[in-house]
Structure 1
Amino acid sequence: MAFDQTKDVLNHAREFHQKLSVFYDALKESASKERTRALLDYMSRHEKYLDDCLAQYEEQVSDNVLDTYFKYGSESTKITAISEFEIKPEMEVADVVAAAMHFDACLIAFYREMAQRALSEKIREVFENLLVMEEHEQIELSKQMLGFDSL
């Protein structure tokens, strides 16, 4: 049985954003269409931004909350591996949008489960706040994607 502190779970989410940034950046090299490359560049920068936001949020959370343990850690609730996502040889804008929505849904499910597993109200609140933030991010991302799709 794995035990993680709240800060470990938050670091797990930050690592996911960092890996997504690298993932989108790597895909950019193989994309032949300028529009797709521009979207992948935007997504890479956006994931870096989300990583920074999560780091700032973590700084606002009390050490007492960050040091609290979960009975079952983030290892038992893995965020879907990026490598499990099917990558097409020639990614189109729609494929990038599908990938982004898939990964957002994975994070939303992760935050929801961690909120449900929280043993205290303060920790539940941390993950519920992140859940709301990620759901809002998904809506904003959808709006941005519509803009890219109409270019």
Structure 2
Amino acid sequence: MHVETFQDLIDWTRELHGFLAKCLRHCADRQEEPRARALLQYLAAHEASLESTVASFERQADPKALHTWVYDYLSHTPISAHRECDLPYAEMGFDEICREVFAFHDQAIELYRYLEGRAEIPEARTLIQQLLKMEEHEAMRLVQQANRARDL
């Protein structure tokens, strides 16, 4: 997807969370280790929830913010996710899955931080700050839940 506006950015982020949810769910069915399978199921549900949450930003955002151009995005490294779900998580252990998914969220947070300082109008800055806060909060929740599951 080509990102030109903040609306495109939201769509792209929503699609990435949705893709990750589907991939994690798909891999959970093929994961042999019970603890890793449970983690994948939890992460898939969490990512699907994030997909809905990100979509709500688009419905509630100020139209001025949504239609603001994201010029600086073009020079920023795009978030990498397994664009082809070729079962990468089905073959990973618990800690590898955590590292991979946490890295995905860290990249999203980095992108939002990068764009926060470059938003040209207050409405766009507010939107990106809200997205950043949501991603940071959700990443923190994921880490806490993974640590609890690791302790079991």
If the length of structure 2 is used for normalisation, what is the TM-score?
Answer: 0.85
Which residue matches 1:12?
12
Between the two proteins, the alignment pairs up a number of residues equal to 148
Which residue matches 2:134?
133
Please state how far the C-alpha of 1:76 moved relative to its aligned partner: 4.9
Matches within 5 A, 1:42-121: 42-73=42-73, 76-82=76-82, 87=88, 90-121=91-122
Equivalent AA in structure 2 for residue 127 of structure 1? I
Distance change >3 Å, CA 69–CA 37, structure 1 → 2: same
Distance change >3 Å, CA 143–CA 51, structure 1 → 2: same
Which residue matches 1:24?
24
Question: 1:107 aligns to what SS in structure 2?
Answer: helix
Q: How big is the alpha-carbon RMSD for the aligned residues of Structure 1 and Structure 2? A: 2.3
Distance change >3 Å, CA 81–CA 103, structure 1 → 2: same
Distance change >3 Å, CA 4–CA 73, structure 1 → 2: farther
Q: Deviations over 1:34-84 (max 9, x none)?
A: 221111011111101001011112211122221222224468541123359
Which residue matches 2:144?
143
Equivalent AA in structure 2 for residue 121 of structure 1? P
Equivalent AA in structure 2 for residue 31 of structure 1? Q
Structure 1 residue runs of 5 or longer lacking an equivalent are none
Segments of 4+ in structure 1 off by > 3 A? 72-77, 87-90
Equivalent AA in structure 2 for residue 11 of structure 1? D
Question: 1:30 aligns to what SS in structure 2?
Answer: coil
CA contact (8 A) 1:111 1:130 kept: yes
> In the aligned structure 1, how far is the partner of 2:133 from the partner of 2:105?
12
Distance change >3 Å, CA 32–CA 136, structure 1 → 2: same
> In the aligned structure 1, how far is the partner of 2:89 from the partner of 2:131?
31
Structure 2 residue runs of 5 or longer lacking an equivalent are none
> In the aligned structure 1, how far is the partner of 2:89 from the partner of 2:47?
21
Equivalent AA in structure 2 for residue 122 of structure 1? E
If the length of structure 1 is used for normalisation, what is the TM-score?
Answer: 0.86
> In the aligned structure 2, how far is the partner of 1:88 from the partner of 1:128?
31
